[in-house]
Structure 1
Amino acid sequence: MVENVPPTQTWEALKANPEAQLVDVRTDVEWNFVGVPDLEVAAKQVRLIPWQVYPSMQRNASFEDNLKQAGLTADSHIYFICRSGARSMAAAQAARAAGFPHVFNVADGFEGPVDADSHRGSTAGWKADGLPWLQR
């Protein structure tokens, strides 16, 4: 079972644990137009490895290999984030099955669920929690 971890707890782990890494599994379009977590204060960089490939949204067949190519190992504590927490949960489960035992899902993702006005980023998630991020 993959544990859901709130964004603020993820941020604390990234700052405190040298083995903690953040993998953003959204698409390149999302990274470019919505933004990405900024880990500079934690002296780390977010790993950008898509779970699905835009525009077909097919599963990234190289996902597990991409994790290894990014330098992640069985010792890494990997926190997966997407828009709302669904794709990142699937990615975390696949990573666990591929031999990465310390995987976590960032609950509510980068933007969280839609609010009463059908907008994301204001009620829950990385951005709503006021954690650092930047526009690419």
Structure 2
Amino acid sequence: MRVITADLLVAAVTELSKGTKLVRARDVFAWCDRLQVDCQAEGSKHQALWDADLEEAHGQRRLLKFKSGDSKQSRVGWALTAHGTQAREAAARLNWREQLWTGEAWEWLGGCAPRPQLERTRRTPSIPALASPRSDA
């Protein structure tokens, strides 16, 4: 099984961006599974993919990187630089921000990580309320 590299990451984003200009990490994981490309290798979860992402940022910079926040559970996506405008629009709709590699660290375009939007849903009580006595009489 091949381990993912920067070139394979670009190939995945290129293929997947035919449907949408902002390609999510989960779609890259599925692409890797389908083509038997190892995105984990010997490191922690998906370490080879993150190494390929960093290698790409150090090298030719063919990809733009977007994230939904600064935690490990944040969603990650990429886009080809040629699709930058459409990818940035899609990322803005999702409240994702672009990250740039400075040569030393990833920095957020705009200064700070986006704040996650919490879905506010009304909770319904799990126990139905008791019917109040009616005074029809």
State if a TM-score over 0.5 links the two structures: no
- Name the TM-score, length of structure 1 as normaliser: 0.28
Highest Rg: 1 or 2? 2
Specify which structure has the bigger relative contact order, considering alpha-carbon pairs within 8 angstroms and separated by 6 or more residues.
1
TM-score by length of 2: 0.28
